[in-house]
Amino acid sequence: MPEFETLEHDVLVIGAGGAGLRAAIEAAAAGVRVGLVCKSLLGKAHTVMAEGGIAAALANVDERDSWKVHFADTMRGGQYVNNWRMAELHAKEAPDRVRELEAWGALFDRTKDGKILQRNFGGHRYPRLAHVGDRTGLELIRTLQDHGIHQGIDVHMEWTVVSLLKDGERIAGVFAYSRERGQFKVFRAKAVILATGGIGRAYKITSNSWEGTGDGHTLAYDAGAELIDMEFVQFHPTGMVWPPSVRGILVTEGVRGEGGVLRNKDGKRFMFDDIPENYRSQTADNEEEGWRYTQGDKNARRPPELLTRDHVARCINREVKAGRGSPHGGVFLDISWIKEKLPNAQEHIKKKLPSMYHQFKKLADLDITKEPMEIGPTTHYVMGGVRVDADSQMSRVPGLFAAGECAAGINGANRLGGNSLSDLLVFGRRAGEYAAKFAQSAKNPTLDQQQLESAARAALAPFDRPTDGGGPFQIQYELQEMMQDLVGIVRREDELVRAVEGVQRLQKRAAAVGVSGNREYNPGWHTALDLHNLLTVSEAIGRAAIERKESRGGHFRDDFPDKDPQYATFNTVLARAPDGSMKLRREPLIPMPPELKQVIEEMK
Amino acid sequence: MPNANFKVWRGDAKGGAFKDYSTDVSEGMVVLDAIHKIQADSANDLACRWNCKAGKCGSCSAEINGKPKLMCMTRMADLPLDRPITVEPMKTFPLIKDLVTDVSWNYAVKKTIKGFAPRKPDAPDGTWRMQQDDIERPQEFRKCIECFLCQDVCHVLRDHHLHDKFIGPRFLIYTAQLEMNPLDTGDRVPDLKHEHGIGFCNITKCCTKVCPEEITITDNAIIPLKERVVDRMYDPLTKLLRVLKG
């Protein structure tokens, strides 16, 4: 009987991005033994790529802002299929979470009177995003990291979790391998918090790093938790498109917040052509008004470039398909034009968008203070994820929690820019608090030797298989091509059905894939193990997308291009049936209390 | 499509050698793309770290044609293709495998530096006020992506291996941003001298030259910290006062 080294924690956090770090800090503050397991080195998680800012109704720049406006904006952006309780908690608690970062050493850009500065972003009625230039994610993660290392958290870097362990119905810990040596370890824990981020690597064009392979989604699903809203994938409107090697890298929405405009090849600001009904009263109807909004004129309405991401991405897609795109299949995003308006535009742009300036200069030989950028949509974020209780973030598996991108509910059908960083902080903290409480009243779980052995067997199986049938990378590329083509921004029933069938074929191939080399830092092996996760979330996205025969938020159906009120009443829920198949059901939305309904009415 | 030849270091702590590979070069390609292509096509087990591929996470540090760089920000078009491009791991840290080194020393060093200690909130709303001008300098240091290229190139660490006496440029700017944070009340000056070895730095500015974030490490962080140490520890009047006060 193989023996595995076993470590003991009360609360074990998987993932060290914003949500994972914040959860670990909170759990440690409750006095329990906390472990933090992460696939990469500490401080490298995808949170560093967040650029524009953290949405919180601090009302530092516009005193009309409040949690109510933020709540209403979030619900409107999510097309009202959000979990209203999460949206409420998020809007109420985000300001405190931002102030707390300052108390831990973050240095946000300042207003003239020395407060935290806030900037405009898509779908937010008032300037709401606390930021540091365009590197806010780095500031957030570094602040949490530098605070966290003094809180007595055991950090296990470059460990990858391959399965969750259970003791009957409840969670018992995790089984993981080290990237460095390839050895296995068991982390026994009374509570486990998943904070593993997104699924972007299921697509060819994505802003996500290699880590975004849907690990938490799949671990939870395999362990008996439910996934909801998986049809809602966010395609960020502005990713780089040229040169090919950088395709998909994020270009912050902050560019538009600072006055950047979108044009087609004819120089037309096409975003004025299609303004959705529910945003018409808040949107500028001429270019001059839009500009005044970006410069802080409180009587002006926002330019249509700052409509929600789902809408902007579809408009770009429409221009490209109609033959009005840029030379490399995108459209133009121009911030350099503000030199017509501002005397020191060049310096201003470099100051407000330093990493965008750097990124285009270095990777595309392009000076954004002088020329327009070429941009196009890129897979950025998944609104769907583990179904959790709004207050505690616990899934239906006792002791299993989820927070951040891998959990779902707050964003509904579409996430507003800036709401992710605040989500990480608000719900990371809540998950940490409730997981610690759970652990304090829970007995030590018993480990099941059989589960450990089968996890180890499954993890090592690729080494015993022939390597001639195309390697793990090829399967991953095929999946990414297929998801991009068939389950992208614009979807159709027949294509979605083909995609689900395609995923099933790839699942068979992935189950037979072999790898070469040994267990020490072997990317081929790691990719082979990630395939199960990527394929599981891809199947989930496909199945949920087939079920929703309407267009809403990030989910757009060419064959059902309108919103359908009967689909506004439920979330799609996926769970693993006893026979291992993926089962879908509709879960009615929880009725919203009258006082929140009234908030939404007031803000209309 | 042009072709590029590579010599990539393959091996582990026990030893290794350069191995030859070649790939096609497409427009705009960076060295990390080439390494990924080699990995996918002919060397599935070639180890390298990467995350964001946009110069923001600092994971893919390596030595390209002998120069410490981020692989994701080094364009093939900027390298001569008439001879093989060498790609090696950072030399200042122990090798794990291929291009991956053991950088855990850096994480241990950071823990030895006293954390942020803000003064009590003093604005009426229970927070603080800070002026933009007063935070520009520490904000510059907070751009650091912890790629550790400055540590890699620093001769105190690379050639003299004084890892147990000197914290290196990365952690001098880390200390500097804490010391220069307008809210901070901590005092790290004695540690800089006695524990963290600031005196070993003889301001050759190699760190500043390799910083992918273009942080002026030496001039803006290390020299001002050295001045603080000198003012405190070597000023004759202060020294006398210290002796008198016991």
pLDDT, tens digit, for every residue of A99-151? 999 999 999 999 999 999 999 999 999 999 999 999 999 999 999 999 999 99
Beta bridge partners of A239: A250, A376
**Final residue of a structural domain among B56, B71, B101:** B101
Minimum distance, in Å, between the CA of residue B155 and any CA atom of chain A:
25
Residue pLDDT, tens place only, A507-527: 999 999 999 999 999 999 999
Residues B129 and B77 in one domain: no
**What is the mean predicted confidence (pLDDT) over A281-285?**
94
Residues whose CB is less than 8 angstroms from the CB of residue A376 and which lie 6 or more positions away in sequence, other chains included:
A205, A238, A239, A241, A316, A320, A325, A329, A330, A331
- A 512-551 residues with CB below 8 A of B? 515-518, 520-525, 527
Q: Which residue of A has its CA nearest to B214?
A: A358
The catalytic position among A76, A128, A236, A552 is A236
Residues B86 and B128 in one domain: no
Beta bridge partners of A228: A385, A573
**With 90 as the cut, is the pLDDT of residue B233 above it?**
no
Encoding tokens for residue A36?
A: 């933090």
Minimum distance, in Å, between the CA of residue A260 and any CA atom of chain B:
21
Strands A490-491, A556-557: pairing is parallel
Encoding tokens for residue B70?
A: 């981020």
| Among candidates A105, A211, A243 on the partner chain, residue whose Cβ is nearest the Cβ of B181 | A105
- A 361-390 residues with CB below 8 A of B? 362-364
| Among candidates B111, B135, B181 on the partner chain, residue whose Cβ is nearest the Cβ of A149 | B111
Encoding tokens for residue A71?
A: 């709540």
Strands A261-263, A331-334: pairing is antiparallel
**Final residue of a structural domain among B66, B101, B136:** B101
- Say if the Cβ atoms of A364 and B28 lie within 8 Å: yes
Sign of CA dihedral A492, A493, A494, A496: positive
Residues B83 and B109 in one domain: no
Nearest-CA neighbor of A63 among B125, B136, B183, B182?
B125
**With 70 as the cut, is the pLDDT of residue B123 above it?**
yes
Which residue of B42, B142, B144, B214 to mutate against A (max A Cβ within 10 Å)? B142
User: What's the mean per-residue pLDDT of chain B?
Assistant: 95
C-beta separation of A107 from B139 below 8 A: yes
CB atoms within 10 A of CB A394: 23
**With 80 as the cut, is the pLDDT of residue A491 above it?**
yes
C-beta separation of A536 from A217 below 8 A: yes
H or E element at residue B23: strand B15-24
Domain-embedded: residue B133: yes
**What is the mean predicted confidence (pLDDT) over A23-45?**
97
Residues B149 and B212 in one domain: yes
Residue A470 confidence class, pLDDT cut points 50, 70, 90: confident
- A 19-48 residues with CB below 8 A of B? 40-46, 48
Nearest-CA neighbor of A520 among B61, B22, B102, B20?
B102
C-beta separation of A201 from A210 below 8 A: yes
Residues B109 and B231 in one domain: yes
**With 70 as the cut, is the pLDDT of residue A206 above it?**
yes
Minimum distance, in Å, between the CA of residue B28 and any CA atom of chain A:
5
Strands B85-88, A154-157: pairing is unpaired
- Say if the Cβ atoms of B40 and A473 lie within 8 Å: yes
Tell me whether A73 touches chain B (CB under 8 Å). Answer: no
Domain-embedded: residue B245: no
Domain-embedded: residue B244: no
- Say if the Cβ atoms of B97 and A521 lie within 8 Å: yes
Please count the structural domains in chain B.
2
Minimum distance, in Å, between the CA of residue B59 and any CA atom of chain A:
7
Classified as helix, coil or strand, A506 is helix
Tell me whether B104 touches chain A (CB under 8 Å). Answer: yes
**What is the mean predicted confidence (pLDDT) over B204-213?**
97
Minimum distance, in Å, between the CA of residue A210 and any CA atom of chain B:
6
**With 80 as the cut, is the pLDDT of residue B246 above it?**
no
pLDDT at B195: 97
Tell me whether A115 touches chain B (CB under 8 Å). Answer: yes
Residues whose CB is less than 8 angstroms from the CB of residue A421 and which lie 6 or more positions away in sequence, other chains included:
A18, A47, A50, A53, A54, A55, A136, A137, A140
- Cα–Cα distance measured from residue B194 to residue B174, given in angstroms and rounded to the nearest whole number: 17
Contacts of B118 in chain A (CB under 8 A): 103, 105
Give catalytic status of residue A532 as yes or no.
no
- Cα–Cα distance measured from residue A153 to residue A161, given in angstroms and rounded to the nearest whole number: 18
Which residue of A362, A473, A530 to mutate against B (max B Cβ within 10 Å)? A362
Tell me whether A154 touches chain B (CB under 8 Å). Answer: no
**What is the mean predicted confidence (pLDDT) over B27-50?**
93
- Say if the Cβ atoms of A132 and B110 lie within 8 Å: no
Residue pLDDT, tens place only, A19-28: 999 999 999 9
Tell me whether A241 touches chain B (CB under 8 Å). Answer: no
- Cα–Cα distance measured from residue A134 to residue A53, given in angstroms and rounded to the nearest whole number: 7
Domain that holds residue B193: 104-239
- Say if the Cβ atoms of B44 and A515 lie within 8 Å: yes
Position with higher pLDDT, B233 vs A40: A40
Tell me whether B57 touches chain A (CB under 8 Å). Answer: yes
**With 90 as the cut, is the pLDDT of residue A435 above it?**
yes
C-beta separation of A77 from A55 below 8 A: no
- B 135-154 residues with CB below 8 A of A? 135, 138-139, 142-143, 145-146
- Say if the Cβ atoms of A524 and B44 lie within 8 Å: yes
Residue pLDDT, tens place only, A289-323: 999 999 999 999 999 999 999 999 999 999 999 99
Rounded to whole angstroms, the maximal C-alpha distance in chain A is 75
Angle between helices A523-547 and A215-222 (to 10 degrees): 70
> How far are the Cα atoms of A50, A256, A283, B118, B228 from residue A367, in angstroms, in the given order?
22, 17, 30, 39, 39
User: What's the mean per-residue pLDDT of chain A?
Assistant: 96
Contacts of A357 in chain B (CB under 8 A): none
pLDDT at A1: 62
- Beta-carbon-side half-sphere exposure of residue A560 (alpha carbons within 13 Å): 16
Residues B118 and B88 in one domain: no
Classified as helix, coil or strand, A351 is helix
Residues B15 and B78 in one domain: yes
| Among candidates A99, A244, A471 on the partner chain, residue whose Cβ is nearest the Cβ of B27 | A244
Classified as helix, coil or strand, A575 is strand
Classified as helix, coil or strand, B190 is helix
Residues whose CB is less than 8 angstroms from the CB of residue A297 and which lie 6 or more positions away in sequence, other chains included:
none
User: In this structure, what CATH number is given to the domain that contains residue B161?
Assistant: 1.10.1060.10
- Cα–Cα distance measured from residue B211 to residue A233, given in angstroms and rounded to the nearest whole number: 36
H or E element at residue B56: none
Domain-embedded: residue B176: yes
| Among candidates A150, A243, A477 on the partner chain, residue whose Cβ is nearest the Cβ of B115 | A150
Beta bridge partners of A480: none
- Say if the Cβ atoms of A517 and B118 lie within 8 Å: no
pLDDT at A224: 98
Residues B155 and B234 in one domain: yes
- Say if the Cβ atoms of A103 and B118 lie within 8 Å: yes
Residues B49 and B138 in one domain: no
pLDDT at B235: 78
> How far are the Cα atoms of A524, B26, B45, B111 from residue B23, in angstroms, in the given order?
19, 10, 17, 42
Residues B159 and B50 in one domain: no
Tell me whether A252 touches chain B (CB under 8 Å). Answer: no
Domain-embedded: residue B87: yes
Residue pLDDT, tens place only, A159-181: 999 999 999 999 999 999 999 99
The catalytic position among A9, A76, A179, A256 is A256
| Among candidates B45, B128, B130 on the partner chain, residue whose Cβ is nearest the Cβ of A516 | B45
**What is the mean predicted confidence (pLDDT) over A531-554?**
98
**Final residue of a structural domain among B45, B72, B101:** B101
Residues B7 and B29 in one domain: yes
- Cα–Cα distance measured from residue B242 to residue B81, given in angstroms and rounded to the nearest whole number: 62
Residue A244 confidence class, pLDDT cut points 50, 70, 90: confident
User: In this structure, what CATH number is given to the domain that contains residue B87?
Assistant: 3.10.20.30
**What is the mean predicted confidence (pLDDT) over A532-536?**
98
pLDDT at B242: 76
Q: Radius of gyration (Cα) for chain B, nearest Å? A: 21
Angle between helices A523-547 and A493-510 (to 10 degrees): 150
Domain-embedded: residue B163: yes
- Angle, CA A578 vertex, CA A577 and CA A579 arms, to 5°: 90
Tell me whether B19 touches chain A (CB under 8 Å). Answer: no
Give catalytic status of residue A256 as yes or no.
yes
Residue pLDDT, tens place only, A371-407: 999 999 999 999 999 999 999 999 999 999 999 999 9
Classified as helix, coil or strand, B156 is helix
Domain-embedded: residue B246: no
- Say if the Cβ atoms of B40 and A471 lie within 8 Å: yes
Minimum distance, in Å, between the CA of residue B101 and any CA atom of chain A:
10
Q: Which residue of A has its CA nearest to B185?
A: A105
Residue pLDDT, tens place only, A323-373: 999 999 999 999 999 999 999 999 999 999 998 999 999 999 999 999 999
- Cα–Cα distance measured from residue B236 to residue B228, given in angstroms and rounded to the nearest whole number: 14
Contacts of A109 in chain B (CB under 8 A): 132
Residues B41 and B19 in one domain: yes
Residues whose CB is less than 8 angstroms from the CB of residue A571 and which lie 6 or more positions away in sequence, other chains included:
A81, A228, A229, A586, A587, A589
C-beta separation of A388 from A430 below 8 A: no
Taking one residue from A and the other from B, the number of pairs with CB-CB distance under 8 angstroms is: 170
- Cα–Cα distance measured from residue A585 to residue A571, given in angstroms and rounded to the nearest whole number: 9
Residue pLDDT, tens place only, B42-56: 898 999 999 999 999
- Say if the Cβ atoms of B51 and A157 lie within 8 Å: no
Minimum distance, in Å, between the CA of residue B132 and any CA atom of chain A:
5
Q: How many residues does chain B have?
A: 246
Domains and CATH numbers, chain A: 236-379 (3.90.700.10), 459-563 (1.20.58.100)
Contacts of B138 in chain A (CB under 8 A): 107
C-beta separation of A367 from A361 below 8 A: yes
Beta bridge partners of B88: B63
**What is the mean predicted confidence (pLDDT) over B82-89?**
97
**With 80 as the cut, is the pLDDT of residue B238 above it?**
no
Beta bridge partners of A51: none
Domain-embedded: residue B192: yes
**What is the mean predicted confidence (pLDDT) over A246-251?**
93
